[in-house]
Structure 1
Amino acid sequence: MGFFTKDTTAPEAGALEPLSRDRLTAVLDARELQYGIDDDGDVGGYWDGHLFYFFLMGGEGEYLQTRGRWNREVGIERLAELTALVNTWNAEKLWPKAYVRAEDATVGVYAEHTVDYEPGVTDAQIDQHLACGITTTLRLFENLDEHFPDEAAEAKAKLEVED
């Protein structure tokens, strides 16, 4: 069998269970975390005011991706500055992968942590994946907040008014 040839033999006894939305939500429930499921069946929620989604991707839903969006409004004129900060993060950190997108008059910053669970996954691995994806993304967002304190203060004030 070649390195890139998929092994199609029967799984061994005690094989790992496939990734599923039910297993994902069970892990969130076990941590007593608040989340919702949108019309597309995607699981998401807010952590520290930032929107996160947990996507099952791939032909069999075997990839788990934690994706967060920085909840700050930064003008498009600061795109180069934000891009440089995110590129520095990507060069110095293993995860999450982060990227910047121009969105009309503002700039969006996203972070993703994706793992392939084609062979299956334990509940502990799902829990670790979610914890890693959320906490490292929040560290990135805190780092960006330090460079954009006015935008961070404005977003915090909006959250306090909404509560």
Structure 2
Amino acid sequence: MGFFTKPDAAADGGALAPLTHERIAGRLDAGGYNYGVDDDGDIGGRWDDHLFYFFRYGPEGEFLQVRGRWSRSVPVSERSAVLDLANEWNAEKIWPKVYVRPEGDELGVYCEHSVDYEHGVSDEQIDLHLAAGVSTSLQFFTRLDEAYPEAVAAFQAEQGSAEGGDA
């Protein structure tokens, strides 16, 4: 039968390397991205003023998650409206997953894109995962910026005063 190959015929020929912290950093380096590693060893950086982290989860660190947080602030009183935007996005898009949670008097809005690489991953797959996680999150953050232009203006004013410049 021509449908099957001998078990040793493909040994190591197409094996994918495991996901590691070093490989994630290496792919960010290869892309020329500016990032850092915090005291906990987490890899993160800013894209369009929004904070992103690249986490590994699972028993062997085989799950890669790109998590972004919208950098603007809106009061908890906007929860229902922001939840509606998040639910609309989650119903229409495959990724990222969007969620909202209260953080004191304000809302934290997050996007996550997670994939299980239990059987290994190629460099190209890591590149695609990082790009998809960041770019689709930025698309949702743009939607929020359009819905809350006052939050964008407040953020920009705060950034301008933090840098000692005029807003």
CA displacement at 1:162 relative to structure 2: 4.0
Equivalent pairs counted in the alignment come to 155
> How do 1:78-117 residues align onto structure 2 when only pairs under 5 Å count?
78-117=78-117
1:3 aligns with none
Rg (Cα) greater in structure: 2
> How do 1:1-163 residues align onto structure 2 when only pairs under 5 Å count?
12-14=11-13, 15-163=15-163
How far, CA to CA, are the matches of 1:128 and 1:73 in structure 2?
A: 30
Q: Secondary structure at the match of 1:88?
A: helix
How far, CA to CA, are the matches of 2:21 and 2:162 in structure 1?
A: 30
How far, CA to CA, are the matches of 1:56 and 1:78 in structure 2?
A: 32
Q: Secondary structure at the match of 1:26?
A: helix
TM-score of the aligned structures, taking structure 2 as reference length? 0.88
Identity of aligned residues (%): 52
Report Cα offsets for 1:60-118 as digits up to 9, x if no partner: 00000000000011001111111111111100111100000011100110000000001
The answer to whether the Cα contact below 8 Å between 1:50 and 1:68 also exists between their aligned partners in 2 is yes
How far, CA to CA, are the matches of 1:105 and 1:115 in structure 2?
A: 32
Residue identity matched to 1:39: D
Q: Secondary structure at the match of 2:138?
A: helix
Are residues 41 and 86 of structure 1, via their aligned partners in 2, closer, same or farther at CA, if it must alter by over 3 Å?
A: same
How far, CA to CA, are the matches of 2:92 and 2:155 in structure 1?
A: 27
CA displacement at 1:22 relative to structure 2: 0.5
How far, CA to CA, are the matches of 1:48 and 1:35 in structure 2?
A: 13
Please say which of residues 150-159 and 77-86 is displaced more in the overlay: 150-159
TM-score of the aligned structures, taking structure 1 as reference length? 0.90
How far, CA to CA, are the matches of 2:63 and 2:24 in structure 1?
A: 12
Report Cα offsets for 1:104-138 as digits up to 9, x if no partner: 10011000000000100001110110000000000
Q: Secondary structure at the match of 2:39?
A: coil
| CA RMSD of superposed structures (Å) | 1.6
